[in-house]
Amino acid sequence: MQVITSKENNLIKHICKLREKKYRDEYCEFIIEGVKLLKEALNEKVTIKNIIISEEAIKQKTIEKELLKKIDYIQVPESIFKLISNVENPQGILAVIKKNSNSDIIDEKSDFILALDDIQDPGNLGTIIRTADSINLKQIIVSKGTADAYNPKVIRSTMGAIYRVKIIETENLLETLKNLQKKKYKIVVTSLDAKKTIFNTNLNKSVIVIGNESNGVSKKIIDIADEKTIIPMEGKTESLNASVATGIILYEYIRQKNNK
């Protein structure tokens, strides 16, 4: 166990910097908080750079002894932990995690790919990642304008799924989709103007594109799409929350796959 007592310590400064996306991208690192997320990280054998625990959490026995025996951690005063924490009522434990080193490589052997076109809400993004994990989807392509998947709010809402789903951020989603078309993938977009429902759309060897919460899929992507699809709704509601819509589509893919 190491002890840090100064907020001027280089590691403390580094962790504070990781609150910003540009630094998370530069160092290929992100922060997790809480016992559950740390246990998930240990189980998934991700690369943990540092584990920080507050002195108060140890005194109050917030973290069980068995976990403390398994990890090499740095102890800090409560005042410093609050400085580096992103949580209003922290458990007193956080870790710096190394991102996947091949996070920009698309697995083109998959028969189904999910792509997100400028999803903005961190809660939506986290829920989408968690739902993707529930069907064992291993990758999601996201546009540059999509919320950062390694934002602390997103991390918390994934409930550990972030360790198992590779997030591939592309500079130009349109060009990435065109390249996948060349590899014989069918581009399917969600659109309120579609005549065909998701339940009548063949999702095999396809890339399904989920659009922005307010504006939907961008026009340039709609223009190159092979198919438009819609989730039928019986009531007066005209559209669904992005994460709810994604969940319906992902499980329709599973239904089709299991019925083959």
- In the structure encoding, which two tokens stand for residue 174, read together? 């349109």
Q: What is the mean pLDDT of the chain?
A: 93
What is the CATH number assigned to the segment(s) 2-98? 3.30.1330.30
What integer pLDDT is reported at residue 260 of this predicted model? 75
Domain ranges in the chain are 2-98, 112-258
Task: Give me the mean pLDDT over the 6-33 stretch.
Answer: 96
Render pLDDT for 143-193 as a digit per residue (tens, 0 to 9).
999 999 999 999 999 999 999 999 999 999 999 999 999 999 999 998 888
Q: Is the pLDDT of residue 128 over 80?
A: yes
Residues in the chain: 260
pTM for the full predicted model: 0.92
In this prediction, residue 120 has a pLDDT band, given cuts at 50, 70 and 90, of very high
- C-alpha dist (Å) from residue 237 to 110, 234, 241, 246: 34, 8, 11, 17
Render pLDDT for 191-244 as a digit per residue (tens, 0 to 9).
888 889 999 999 999 999 999 998 899 999 999 999 999 999 888 877 789 999
Decide which of 89 and 83 is more confident: 83
- In the structure encoding, which two tokens stand for residue 186, read together? 């069918």
Task: Give me the mean pLDDT over the 132-146 stretch.
Answer: 96
User: For every residue of the chain, which 3-state class applies, written as one string?
Assistant: CEECCCCCCHHHHHHHHCCCHHHHHHHCEEEEECHHHHHHHHHHCCCEEEEEEEHHHHHCCCCCHHHHHHCCCEEECHHHHHHHCCCCCCCCEEEEEECCCCCCCCCCCCCEEEEECCCCCHHHHHHHHHHHHHCCCCEEEEECCCCCCCCHHHHHHHCCHHHCCEEEEECCHHHHHHHHHHCCCEEEEECCCCCCEHHHCCCCCEEEEECECCCECCHHHHHHCCEEEECCCCCCCCCCCHHHHHHHHHHHHHHHHHCC
The percentage of residues in the chain with a pLDDT greater than 70, rounded to a whole number, is 99
In this prediction, residue 61 has a pLDDT band, given cuts at 50, 70 and 90, of confident
What is the CATH number assigned to the segment(s) 112-258? 3.40.1280.10
What integer pLDDT is reported at residue 102 of this predicted model? 66
For helices 122-134 and 242-258, angle between their N-to-C axes, nearest 10 degrees: 10
Task: Give me the mean pLDDT over the 85-100 stretch.
Answer: 91
